Amino acid sequence: MWHGSKVMPITYRDAGVDIDAADELVRRIGPLARATRTANVVSGVGGFAGLCSVPKGLADPVLVSGTDGVGTKLKIAFATGVHDTVGIDLVAMSVNDVITLGARPLFFLDYFATGRLDVDVGEAVVRGVAEGCRQADCALLGGETAELPGMYPDGEYDLAGFAVGVVDRTSILDRQAVAKGDVLIGVASSGLHSNGFSLARRVLLDRMGLALDGELADLGCTVGEALLVPTKIYARATAALCERCGDRLHGIAHITGGGLVDNLPRVIPDGLGARIDLQSYARPRLFTIIAEGGPVEESELRRTFNLGVGLVVIVDPSAADEAVEALRTAGDQAWVLGEIVADQDPRLRFD
């Protein structure tokens, strides 16, 4: 400000950036990150970059990377004040992509950006990230916190992150191994995961007029609780699957935005299609509520949501029973969802 003819000094805090708050957040998240440390981590949190060694025992190790965010699911966190689950979603969206190549996750890094840093909120978010890393058996190797005045409304932030995994070159899952007659194994999602929230919010909050703290019929929880269920992380399940089925495991599809319609074809070679039995499992009630509350047509539901299928595993018919058993033993619901067939129009047929 002006004081007579003298210009008063201005600080970074006056401009909207609180370095002391950022330092406090780093101090708080240090123990969270250290708790995820694995045997391959070389450096601790606090330097300019993180170090991680490649596990021994791999003849020809190949690094696999994936990156993603959480999307408008964050709007639910802002509105409810629940910030300790979206970090799990952040890890899941990248890790679940990396494991589709047969890789095991090594480490994860996050980026947290906000207009005004609230240390308690930041700590809650990173606590979720650390929990996601624990579930994925990977290290939270580092991250970045950015306070960007004027970029975000008060009380809001954005998240991004990336995961790095490793796989032996001879064990990389290649869609060319997929053959006619292969069996599709469905693995249950935990809910919407982190996709389709713009449509879900429009239906549930706008068209149906539901409140986030209101009870959701038949689910025994509030709307906010149903929407904030964290994305399932499948790293341990796919590790068990790789060990049990070996080269009889031909492909893995992570069912994210675009649903089965867009994601399953990514792991099926040209000249083949898939038959999917939608009667093979019970669709979670939340998707039916959205469909009826919109209303939302079935074709739109299939292109937007996972509809209860978070992962699809493709195996040789001889490995189908073992694959289902391995996935269930790892704690996941799994069932025979369909099969690979000759090319057809449309490429995916829903029965």
| Domain ranges (residues) in the chain | 2-171, 175-350
Mind listing the pLDDT tens digit for each residue in 227-239? 999 999 999 999 9
Q: Which residues contact 154 (CB under 8 A, 6 or more apart)?
A: 115, 116
Distance, in Å, from the CA atom of 258 to the CA atom of 303, rounded to the nearest integer, reads 4
User: What average pLDDT does the segment 260-268 reach?
Assistant: 96
Strand partners, 348: 274
Span between the terminal Cα atoms of the chain, in Å: 70
- What superfamily does domain 175-350 belong to in CATH? PurM-like C-terminal domain (3.90.650.10)
Write down the pLDDT at residue 79. 97
Residue 214 has pLDDT above 80, yes or no: yes
Q: Which uninterrupted H or E stretch holds 163?
A: strand 157-168
Concatenated DSSP letters of 304-331 = H--TTEEEEEEE-GGGHHHHHHHHHHTT
Q: Rounded to 10 degrees, what is the CA torsion of 269, 258, 138, 103?
A: 0
Amino acid letter for position 269 = P
Mind listing the pLDDT tens digit for each residue in 311-326? 999 999 999 999 999 9
Token reading at 98: 């990396």
Mind listing the pLDDT tens digit for each residue in 101-152? 999 999 999 999 999 999 999 999 999 999 999 999 999 999 999 999 999 9
Distance, in Å, from the CA atom of 168 to the CA atom of 63, rounded to the nearest integer, reads 9
Distance, in Å, from the CA atom of 270 to the CA atom of 218, rounded to the nearest integer, reads 42
Order of all β-strands in the sheet with 334-342: 249-254, 309-315, 183-188, 334-342, 272-276, 348-350
Cα→Cα distances 314→45, 200, 285, 339, Å: 39, 29, 26, 8
Distance, in Å, from the CA atom of 139 to the CA atom of 35, rounded to the nearest integer, reads 8
CATH 3.40.50.360 given to domain 2-171: no
User: What average pLDDT does the segment 147-170 reach?
Assistant: 95
pTM, entire model: 0.93
User: What average pLDDT does the segment 45-49 reach?
Assistant: 72
Over the chain, what is the mean pLDDT? 93
For residue 146, the Cα-to-chain-centroid distance in whole angstroms is 22
